[in-house]
Amino acid sequence: MSAHEHHAGALPPEPEKATLEGRNKILGFWLFLGAETVLFGTLFSAYLAFRNSVLDGPKPEELFQLPMTFIMTVVLLVSSLTSVFAVQAMHRHKTGQMLGWMAVTIALGAVFLGLEIYEFNEYAHEGHRFTTSAFSSAFYTLVGFHGGHVAFGILWIGLVILQILKKGLTVVTAPKVYVSAIYWHFIDVVWVFIFTVVYLMGKV
């Protein structure tokens, strides 16, 4: 039931679900993501309410550069895939492979974040600042919240990598890998919505 039962023996096939603590963590995290869904849903509604409240600032169709955001989308989608590879490696108990894929994941996350910072900087130069209009406030709040989540994910997965290097893959560390991977998929899915609702619909 608790951690010590599995300590001595070999790692079970799904080490993240081997302990009650692990199962609690995964369930609790799914519930947290339910709350996050409402959070982003509300941010999306606010954004949609203010899509056309541009005032004197640049309009979305003038502002957004689809090639750039498309690259960002690809980068983040690939990072989601590498995060799946990491969890698969964990299920095969290949700690080294797992760490490698996790490292690739956060590297891609960092690239995404870098592109986003570059993008925001460009917008600001074009007169699309946080305080320009209701549209700009809602845009930066929605996309910025997502970016903040990516940044947190990078720190988190980085911390998990360090822990695994020190403690190895155990029934205690496995749920951390698994849960951070779910989190990473979630922010990826949110980005897909942002790409569709903000960027693609902004171009229409």
The smaller minimum CB distance to other proteins, of residues 95 and 141, is found at 141
CA distance 83 to 185: 8
Is position 165 an interface residue for other proteins (rule: CB under 8 A)?
no
DSSP 130: T
Mark the segment that binds other proteins (CB under 8 A) among 69-77, 86-94, 115-123, 124-132.
124-132
The smaller minimum CB distance to other proteins, of residues 43 and 99, is found at 43
- For 126, the 3-state DSSP assignment is coil
DSSP 200: I
**Residue 96 Cα to chain centre, angstroms:** 23
The smaller minimum CB distance to other proteins, of residues 86 and 171, is found at 171
Candidates 74, 155, 165, 192; binder of other proteins (CB under 8 A) is 155
CB-count exposure of residue 17 (10 Å: 0-12, 13-18, 19+): middle
Mark the segment that binds other proteins (CB under 8 A) among 30-38, 73-81, 93-101, 112-120.
30-38
Is position 186 an interface residue for other proteins (rule: CB under 8 A)?
no
Q: Tell me the C-alpha to C-alpha distance, in Å, between residue 88 and each of 24, 77, 103, 106, 166.
A: 21, 17, 15, 17, 21
The smaller minimum CB distance to other proteins, of residues 68 and 137, is found at 137
CB-count exposure of residue 94 (10 Å: 0-12, 13-18, 19+): middle
Binding residue count for other proteins, defined by CB under 8 A: 42
Is position 43 an interface residue for other proteins (rule: CB under 8 A)?
yes
Q: What's the one-letter identity of residue 96? A: G
Is position 59 an interface residue for other proteins (rule: CB under 8 A)?
no
Helix 66-91 vs helix 95-125: crossing angle, to nearest 10: 160
Chain residues binding other proteins by CB under 8 A are: 2-4, 7, 20, 23-24, 27-28, 31-32, 34-36, 38-39, 42-43, 45-46, 49-50, 53-55, 130-138, 141, 155, 159-160, 163, 167, 172, 176
